[in-house]
Structure 1
Amino acid sequence: MIQTVSAWGYFAAWRILRWLPENFVYARANAVADYLVKRNGKSIARLRSNLARTQPNITALDLDLLVYSGMRSALRYWCDTFRFPDWSRERILGTVTFNDESILMDAVAAGNGAIVTLPHCGNYDHAAAYFCARGAKIVTVAEHLKPEKLFKKFMQYRSDFGMESLPLDGRVIPTLMQRIRTGCVIALAADRDLSKSGIDVNFFGGPARMPAGPALLAIRTGAPLISAYVSYTPTGIHIDFTRMQIPTEGTETQRVAALVQKSADLFAEGIAKYPQDWHMMQRIWIDGDFKDRD
């Protein structure tokens, strides 16, 4: 029952927030974000804990301000999501900046596929829509949501701007390998392991576990592996790309572990620079931090 009510809330937001004036919607979202931070529920406390680990020398006051900024950024993502179906192609293309767009576009032009790995940051759907509009075939993987209506709605939402979204299950790696061979770009959020069988990494000086999928795909297909960090700008998003060197020595297990650690290091660089845009309200570290609230 709770899942059904929650789903109808999402469906209503997709309609109502598109009717209201844009400035009003985002101003109210900021007010809601501030209210949620003041309530300091479980998700906010987890966000605070995560951000504190990324900024080890931060003062209590600055951490408070960062949590407010982080929650505003998270709700900006949801406002974008609900209003995105009405965005014009010109708006999508005109509100994205890069450090070096050619890192991905050269891979797209080569037609041999690519893997982009990124943390949960900024508006990654905006980034995907941009590259879909530029002619890339983008494929991602989605955790299966309940109820089924809501899961299908998110799948359709991404399909409408050109991205294929596959359900996360035991058959997904072979399917992704096939998509790569047809020239697709596989975009995977990889800062949190959902399989419970990920790779142990050092992340901001603490033990965490991240998925092996992006590294495994790159090693087995030979496609470029690219790290990305998406941060918000006043009018849109900025994307920092880094092409990762694929190890050639060692066993496959060793090579995968090295690549996942390199991904973690690049995620940490982006998060340290734009911590407010890392929307992580789940547990990341596995050393018992904050266990009493899980």
Structure 2
Amino acid sequence: MALDTARLHHLAWQHASKVPAPLLRGAAALGADVATLLRPAGVRRLATNLARVRPDAGPRELRRLVRRAMRSYMRYFGEVFVLASATPEQVAARVRVEGRDECTRALATGTSPVVALTHQGNWDLAGVWASTHLAPVTTVAERLEPPALYEDFMVFRESLGMTILTAGDDGVFRALLRVAAAPGRLVCLLADRDLSRTGVQVDLLGHPARVAPGPAAVAVATGAPLLPAGIFYERLTGARRRAAGTPWGIVIRFHPAVEVPTDGTPAERLRTTTQGWVDALAHDIHEHPEDWHMLQKVFVADLDPERLARAEARP
């Protein structure tokens, strides 16, 4: 009998907060280890992606890396299911930020930065923290299947204070432009996957890859600063661990704003700007590969050639 994914997630959101935290963390780690052993399609794709991130890793090292990556991925889900019950003090203790000055200066002048993100660490925790400590967050979410699962994720993220737009809906890009033009907001976009199949081809760690055009497109169109931000886990100890209520926290690392060229065609400016944020976040992915939760195709060598040809033929 097939698993009802939406029902399982719904039950987890309802009851995970009642489970003792050590037991929940143990269950997440066990699920990660079982998945690593069974190697379903997503785990095999993760292994292929990580092999490109760390090409010098031997088979044994790569297996260990995949295991750590699956534990990181399942840790994310375990944290998401109880995030709504975390206090503001716990959220603050779980997050450490590097390089935020450029972002806070922009917000202080009434500018709304665009933040380019990858699927690293716990991006939902980062969004909750940013909504409270920086500015209200607007983001775009992938439409998940089945619809009930997507609705649960929408309700969850909006309950945490984020404004969620749906990828593929009419008017999403115009809505992002309006937000970026308004004062005191953050446009945070997970962009290391080309959900539209009309993405931008870049060099990612020495390999051709296709990523979403959103962050660069909004920055080019509005003049808003484009700040890449990496997210990765770190172990907590002492007083901070007690305040956080968990042994794991995240680091949000803001990189300097990407220079947006003023010369060239719109397509050239888009490509150059996209490569700029990809270069910045590639460093974080290489440094913390176990926290890059990429179980889907992103590198050109793995994409369907016919679909890729159709995408490249579009203007």
Q: Same fold (TM over 0.5)?
A: yes
1:201/1:209 contact within 8 Å kept: yes
2:116/2:215 contact within 8 Å kept: yes
2:200/2:212 contact within 8 Å kept: yes
Gaps spanning 5+ residues in structure 1: where? Answer: none
1:241 alignment counterpart? 254
> In the TM superposition, what is the alpha-carbon distance from 1:30 to its structure 2 partner?
0.6
> In the TM superposition, what is the alpha-carbon distance from 1:106 to its structure 2 partner?
2.0
In structure 1, how many angstroms separate the alpha carbons of the residues matched to 2:23 and 2:64?
A: 23
User: Which stretch shifts more, 46-55 or 149-158?
Assistant: 149-158
1:217 aligns with 2:218: yes
Read off the aligned partner of 1:277 and give its amino acid letter: D
In structure 1, how many angstroms separate the alpha carbons of the residues matched to 2:28 and 2:297?
A: 24
> In the TM superposition, what is the alpha-carbon distance from 1:246 to its structure 2 partner?
1.4
In structure 2, how many angstroms separate the alpha carbons of the residues matched to 1:37 and 1:74?
A: 11
Q: Please give the per-residue CA displacement for 1:147-187, whole angstroms capped at 9, x wherever unaligned.
A: 33322221111111111001112411101111112222110
User: Which stretch shifts more, 252-261 or 145-154?
Assistant: 145-154
Q: Please give the per-residue CA displacement for 1:102-151, whole angstroms capped at 9, x wherever unaligned.
A: 23222222222110001100001111111111251100001112333322
2:229 alignment counterpart? 228
Give 1:1-294 correspondences, 5 Å limit: 5-168=4-167, 169-183=169-183, 184-234=185-235, 235-242=248-255, 243-288=257-302
2:117/2:191 contact within 8 Å kept: yes
Identity of aligned residues (%): 33
Q: Please give the per-residue CA displacement for 1:31-61, whole angstroms capped at 9, x wherever unaligned.
A: 1111110111111111111000000111111
Q: Please give the per-residue CA displacement for 1:240-276, whole angstroms capped at 9, x wherever unaligned.
A: 1112111122121111100111222122111000000
Read off the aligned partner of 1:147 and give its amino acid letter: P
- Which TM-score applies when normalising by structure 1? 0.94
In structure 2, how many angstroms separate the alpha carbons of the residues matched to 1:2 and 1:256?
A: 43
In structure 2, how many angstroms separate the alpha carbons of the residues matched to 1:71 and 1:288?
A: 21
In structure 1, how many angstroms separate the alpha carbons of the residues matched to 2:260 and 2:116?
A: 14
Read off the aligned partner of 1:190 and give its amino acid letter: A
User: Which stretch shifts more, 225-234 or 153-162?
Assistant: 153-162
In structure 2, how many angstroms separate the alpha carbons of the residues matched to 1:193 and 1:170?
A: 17
Where do 4+ consecutive residues of structure 1 move more than 6 Å? none
Read off the aligned partner of 1:173 and give its amino acid letter: F
Q: Please give the per-residue CA displacement for 1:65-95, whole angstroms capped at 9, x wherever unaligned.
A: 1001000000000001101011000011122
Provide the secondary structure at the position in 2 that maps to 1:192. coil
> In the TM superposition, what is the alpha-carbon distance from 1:290 to its structure 2 partner?
10
Gaps spanning 5+ residues in structure 2: where? Answer: 236-247, 306-315
In structure 1, how many angstroms separate the alpha carbons of the residues matched to 2:137 and 2:232?
A: 19
In structure 1, how many angstroms separate the alpha carbons of the residues matched to 2:49 and 2:194?
A: 15
Task: Number of aligned residue pairs: give it.
Answer: 290
- Which TM-score applies when normalising by structure 2? 0.88
Report the aligned-residue RMSD: 1.7
Read off the aligned partner of 1:117 and give its amino acid letter: A
In structure 2, how many angstroms separate the alpha carbons of the residues matched to 1:267 and 1:176?
A: 22
Read off the aligned partner of 2:149 and give its amino acid letter: L
Read off the aligned partner of 2:171 and give its amino acid letter: R
Read off the aligned partner of 1:244 and give its amino acid letter: V
Q: 1:76 to 1:24 in 2, by over 3 A?
A: same
Provide the secondary structure at the position in 2 that maps to 1:207. strand
